[in-house]
């Protein structure tokens, strides 16, 4: 119970520090921003807001928001956060000097980050030759066991699952039905769960998924989360992955180093063309803002 409570508090903390809710009327939000989950004094929280919040959570916390209790907990947190935001605006907190200073600082940081992102994307190009060289040098790292890629539709009741199964048999799109009816975080992606190996999913789900042929759809699979309908969309045999399979993965691994190189070069170029005057004496004279570990704060001079 203690671990569960701690994890719930972590989710609440993540939610409270994330972005605010949409400020628009109910009808408009349903039309443009998704299905309305809650109305808070004229503001709305939609399913798209919920999914966005869910995506911002670390992977180890996301499963908590897949259960009915977890979803309710997170929506309640989003509602409370919106109420706090509204009350803060009523009290004029949003117009205080402290908030204005922080917003100005945040604005500068966002502009700098956007500029650096643009320059990195323009300059940090990684060629196929670079990727191939990395692959050959690290080929032993790209060996895995058997993997499959699957999508699923998860609903609360068997009756719902049977109704969806009937629609699938009549030719309805699996992906569209997943987006419309599935109650888990994969719904916006048409139910796609990506690639996974054995031991990653619930045993009953995994047994069915690994037993399907590529393109085949399962019957109804009950688990502790609800009732699933599974579609197998890809299979990989155990062994080394081909270059094409891991090309994107290699690129992701190489990007940070390229970014560092680009930033270093950009920094040198900007400094070279700027009129700079670093005041070393003033820098050395800066007072420490915090006492050294194990020492007491200095007494103020009289």
Domain boundaries defined on the chain: 2-95, 146-237
User: Terminus-to-terminus CA distance in the chain, angstroms?
Assistant: 54
According to DSSP, residue 79 is labeled H
Tens-of-pLDDT digits for all 302 residues of the chain?
444 444 454 444 444 444 444 444 433 444 455 789 999 999 999 999 999 888 888 777 777 788 888 889 999 999 999 999 999 999 999 899 999 999 999 999 999 888 887 887 777 677 888 889 988 888 888 877 888 999 999 999 999 999 999 999 999 999 999 999 999 889 999 999 998 989 889 999 999 999 999 999 999 999 999 999 999 999 988 888 888 888 888 888 887 787 788 888 888 888 888 888 888 888 888 887 655 555 555 554 44
State CA 192 to chain mean position distance: 15
Position 65 scores a pLDDT of 83
What pLDDT was estimated at residue 294? 53
Only one residue has tokens 């502009």, namely: 111
Separation CA 124–CA 122 (nearest Å): 6
Helices (H), the chain: 2-16, 26-32, 47-55, 68-90, 97-123, 128-137, 158-169, 174-181, 203-211, 243-272, 280-284
pTM of this prediction? 0.42
Dihedral sign, Cα of residue 95, residue 56, residue 152, residue 204: negative
Q: How many residues does the chain have?
A: 302
pLDDT score of 286: 86
Residue 198, φ and ψ in degrees, nearest 5: -70, 140
Fold of domain 146-237: Chitinase A; domain 3 (3.10.50)
| Residues 217 and 173: beta-carbon distance below 8 Å | no
Question: Would you state the structure tokens that stand for residue 226, as one six-digit string?
Answer: 């609800």
Could you tell me the two tokens for 145? Answer: 């066991």
How far, in Å, CA of 123 to CA of 171, rounded? Answer: 47
């Amino acid at each position: 119970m203690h671990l569960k409570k701690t994890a719930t508090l972590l989710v609440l903390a993540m939610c409270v520090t994330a972005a605010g809710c949409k400020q628009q009327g109910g009808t408009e939000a349903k039309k443009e921003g998704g299905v309305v989950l809650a109305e808070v004094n004229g503001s709305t929280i939609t399913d798209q807001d919920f999914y966005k919040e869910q995506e911002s959570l670390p992977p180890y916390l996301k499963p908590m928001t897949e259960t009915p209790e977890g979803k309710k907990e997170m929506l309640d947190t989003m509602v409370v956060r919106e109420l706090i935001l509204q009350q803060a605006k009523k009290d004029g907190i949003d117009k205080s000097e402290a908030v204005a200073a922080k917003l100005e600082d945040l604005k500068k940081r966002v502009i700098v980050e956007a500029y650096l992102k643009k320059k990195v994307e323009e300059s940090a190009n990684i060629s196929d030759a670079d990727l191939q060289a990395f692959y050959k040098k690290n080929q032993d790292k790209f060996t895995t066991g058997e993997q499959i890629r699957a999508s699923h539709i998860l609903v609360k009741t068997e009756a719902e699952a049977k109704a969806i199964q009937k629609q699938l048999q009549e030719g309805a799109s699996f992906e569209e039905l997943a987006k419309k009816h599935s109650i888990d975080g994969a719904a916006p992606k048409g139910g796609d769960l990506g690639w996974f190996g054995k031991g990653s999913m619930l045993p009953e789900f995994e047994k069915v998924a690994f037993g399907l042929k590529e393109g085949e759809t399962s019957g109804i699979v009950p688990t502790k989360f609800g009732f699933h309908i599974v579609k197998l969309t890809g299979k990989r045999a155990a062994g080394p992955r081909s270059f094409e399979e891991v090309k994107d993965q290699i690129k992701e691994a190489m990007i940070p180093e390229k970014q560092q190189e680009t930033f270093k070069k950009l920094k040198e170029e900007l400094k070279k063309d700027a009129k700079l005057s670093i005041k070393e004496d003033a820098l050395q004279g800066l007072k420490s803002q915090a006492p050294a570990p194990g020492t007491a704060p200095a007494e103020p001079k009289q």
